[in-house]
Amino acid sequence: MQELRKKVEEAEKQLAPQFQKIEKIAQYNSEKVLKAFHDHRVSDAHFTSTTGYGYNDYGRDTIEKIFAQVLGSEDALVRVQFISGTHALTVALFAYLRPGDTLLSITGKPYDTLDEVIGIVDNPSSLKSFGVQYEQIDLIDNDFDEKQIQERLKQKKVKLIEIQRSKGYSTRKSITMDKIKRIVKVIREVDKDVIIMVDNCYCEFVSTKEPTEVGVDVMVGSLIKNLGGGIAPNGAYIAGRHDLVELAAERLTVPGEGREVGPTLGINKSFLQGLFLAPSVVASSLKTAVLTSYLLEQMGYEVEPSYKEERADIVQNIIFHNREDLIRYCQGIQMASPIDSFAIPQPADMPGYNDQIIMAAGCFTQGSSIELSCDGPLREPFIAYQQGSITYEYGRLGIMQAIENLNSQRNELDR
């Protein structure tokens, strides 16, 4: 381990320019968050809780105004009633789409957990079962197929275009803000009314802008990822145009009541504190990802993105090309976790996934992706999808343990 520590220290010297860039973005986003807190005069009165119907929840309503301001959106719905990012995406899709409408994904097939929501995998409660049609256009060389997108929009009417920024369990690159800005312009040249919706999970605060600041109509994210700052125990948000946020609120709760109901059950302080810490936590996650990329590349593994590349999300891919290294690496991450460090992750079937998944996540919040975690489907080319770390120091320790576990496997094979 001492030799590995020296390698990490040397890596950190080489990575100083990348770390400085990350810190600069964190400073910018911290100022943005602090300004929103000041503008909305946050006090401990906003920490109060409601139960039952949740009428007149002063803290909840202020939180949604703060999120809207920070995200550059007209409005935002930020609720404890969302159980996950997938749930928030589902609420949004069912809010905006009607029988006979067409949903078009322009980043290829969405994340696995949306397969049954859309109807790619049969489910009697899917959008497909309600008569919503689904189409997709794949990326070309990790970029939007602008020509095909425009040609499709000139044909039969599309109601909603879905863009998934993060790669999910795919081998493509994640989508940068520059690409989002450009494709919005391309779409609007043909159709000024189609709803452009972005799945922004894993991407908030990675740059200085968010999708709704470059023309996207609505975006969705989870609070056990970036914006929860490792503090929010659950929840998600939908942010964008006021009319679309209102539709989503009525789908989440009840038509006619919408956002006026929904008790906070003591969550307000966690949401506010999580958002306050989020720029720093995202920076720690990015530094951990950059260090991982550098070290694993030095060891001869394929990585994506490279430590030098611009990042769109907090996810770091390590392409192992064999089952054993993927499992061993994830097990090493678990060993360095604060919770259940003694557990040994094994591949298993999971709801919403077609392949067995191995997941390392010794987290304070179950399933939290902003805490250091690593997972991947047991299928070629055996990619580990690593994300998070509330602090860089803990992330650094986690990566060292995972590498040590990989090296021990190599040594066993050599013997």
Residue 370 is part of which domain span?
2-28+276-414
pLDDT band at 1 (very low <50, low <70, confident <90, very high): confident
Output the DSSP codes for 143-159.
B--HHHHHHHHTSS--S
Place of tokens 């929501």: 117
Is the whole-model pTM more than 0.85? yes
49-75: per-residue pLDDT in tens? Answer: 999 999 999 999 999 999 999 999 999
Strand partners, 220: 199, 238
If asked whether residues 256 and 282 sit together in one domain, one would say no
Query: Could you tell me which residues come within 8 angstroms of residue 359 by beta carbon, excluding any fewer than 6 positions away?
Result: 330, 345, 350, 373, 374, 375
308-319: per-residue pLDDT in tens? Answer: 999 999 999 999
The stretch 264-291 carries a mean pLDDT of: 98
226-257: per-residue pLDDT in tens? Answer: 999 999 999 999 999 999 999 999 999 999 99
Whether 37 is covered by a domain: the verdict is: no
pLDDT band at 174 (very low <50, low <70, confident <90, very high): very high
If asked whether residues 259 and 382 sit together in one domain, one would say no
If asked whether residues 223 and 292 sit together in one domain, one would say no
pLDDT band at 351 (very low <50, low <70, confident <90, very high): confident
* Of 130-144, 200-214, 350-364, minimum mean pLDDT range: 350-364
State the average pLDDT for the chain: 96
pLDDT greater than 80 at residue 43: yes
If asked whether residues 354 and 379 sit together in one domain, one would say yes
Whether 102 is covered by a domain: the verdict is: yes
Handedness of CA 47, 50, 54, 55 (dihedral sign): negative
Q: Are strands 102-105 and 133-136 parallel, antiparallel or unpaired?
A: parallel
> Tell me, what CATH number does 199's domain have?
3.40.640.10
CA distance 262 to 50: 8
% pLDDT > 70, the chain = 98
Residue at which a domain ends, from 208, 235, 265: 265
> In the prediction, which pLDDT does 324 show?
95
> In the prediction, which pLDDT does 412 show?
57
